[in-house]
Amino acid sequence: MKSIFFTGKGGVGKSTLASAAAWQLAQRGNKVLAVSLDPAHNLGDIFGKELNYKKKKLAHNLWLQEANLDRAAQEYLKQNTELLTQVYSYTRAFNLDMYFKVLRHSPGVEEYASLLILEEAFRNKDGMDYIVFDTPPTGLTLRILALPNISVTWIDRLRRIRRDILKKRHTVYNISGQKDGPETVLPYTEEEDPVMQKLNEMFKRYVSLYAQLSKKDSNYIAVVFNPDYLSLRESQRIIDGLNDLELPLRAGFNNKYTSELSPQADEVEQELFEGKDNVVVNRVPLQEYRREGAYEMDHDVVTPILEGVSNSG
């Protein structure tokens, strides 16, 4: 299974190129799933179909899905609240139920919900050959992609503290032994401690998610931009962000290109990709206006990504 991410500033044509890529891949006989992670979905509009959080088959070999972040976040929180009320019978004493209500709107939940959707897609139960992701605006996309990395760092720190705690508990147990009475022995080995177990499990999940995202030969990240200054600046931020996260950028699509804009296009491309020889640069000509079927583009957007062929200087 391979995945392709289309990132870029709002309005540059991420969704259009993502749907074109999905369509072209499916035409070539691959099983393709196109997922929109953008809360303001366009995928359904482009394909002229009402979509929701479930996969919908559009054509032979092509499935579409519009991720519902709100729903995913709520489902996730509900699961955990249920577990919580099972474990604590006195959640109210801690005001934890309030905490959970507020948590829905706390920063990070939306990113996490997107991550859950990514994970689910990567699990690839239906044996897709390609998964094409249409991403939300730059800021959110970068935060989503950063989350596995950040989480791994946090978990690593937490695990260190936890290990110290367990060591100390072990010492206490070794010296004073089992005590009678209301005091129960706290878990002191990594295998018995549920917190450590949970930390280890999360660590594994995030590491594998990050591995999937950073694999050069199976995850392609493409940045879409237009030959203008604003999208240049934002694309630069995306490229820098990906660089910080050590995620590989595969391709840059200079979308809505016309020959009159050639000098501008040259300038933008040069600024973005100078010294980045491994990034494919592809110019996508401005398409005719049409209300339907924008995904049926003559321009080939798949080959540049898969085979690494540039069509400009």
Partner 1 sequence: MSGEEEQGTEKQNADHSDEGIFGKAWRYVRGFFSTMDTAHRDNAVELTEFEARELENVFVLILMGSFMGLPSPPSSLSVELLPHLEHELQVLNRRAERSSDALAEVSSLLDID
List residues binding partner 1 (CB under 8 A). 76-77, 80, 83-84, 86-88, 94, 96, 99, 103, 106-109, 111-112, 147, 150-151, 154-155, 157-158, 161-162, 164-165, 168-169, 171-172, 175-181, 186, 194-195, 198-199, 202
Nearer to partner 1, 197 or 262 (CB): 197
Residue 30 bridge partners (DSSP): none
Helices (H) and strands (E) in the chain, counts: 11, 8
Asked if residue 219 lies in contact with residue 2, where contact means CB atoms within 8 angstroms, the answer is yes
Q: At residue 7, what is the residue type?
A: T
To the nearest whole angstrom, how small is the minimum distance from the Cβ of residue 207 to partner 1?
Answer: 14
Based on its alpha-carbon atoms, the radius of gyration of the chain, rounded to whole angstroms, reads 24
Q: What is the closest distance, in whole angstroms, from the C-beta atom of residue 155 to partner 1 in the complex?
A: 7
Q: In this complex, which beta carbon is closest to partner 1, that of residue 180 or of residue 288?
A: 180
Q: Contact 239/192 with Cβ under 8 angstroms?
A: no
User: Smaller CB distance to partner 1: residue 6 or 206?
Assistant: 206
- Closer by beta carbon to partner 1, 107 or else 275: 107
The answer to whether residues 36 and 14 touch, using CB atoms and an 8 Å cutoff, is: no
The Cα 53–Cα 92 span in angstroms is 33
Nearer to partner 1, 92 or 168 (CB): 168
- Which residue type, as a one-letter code, is found at position 129? D
> Helices 69-87 and 109-123 meet at what angle, rounded to 10?
100
CB of 119 to partner 1, least distance (A): 12
Give CA–CA dist 48/58, Å, rounded. 10
- Beta carbon of residue 46, minimum distance to partner 1 (angstroms, whole number): 32
What is the closest distance, in whole angstroms, from the C-beta atom of residue 81 to partner 1 in the complex? 9
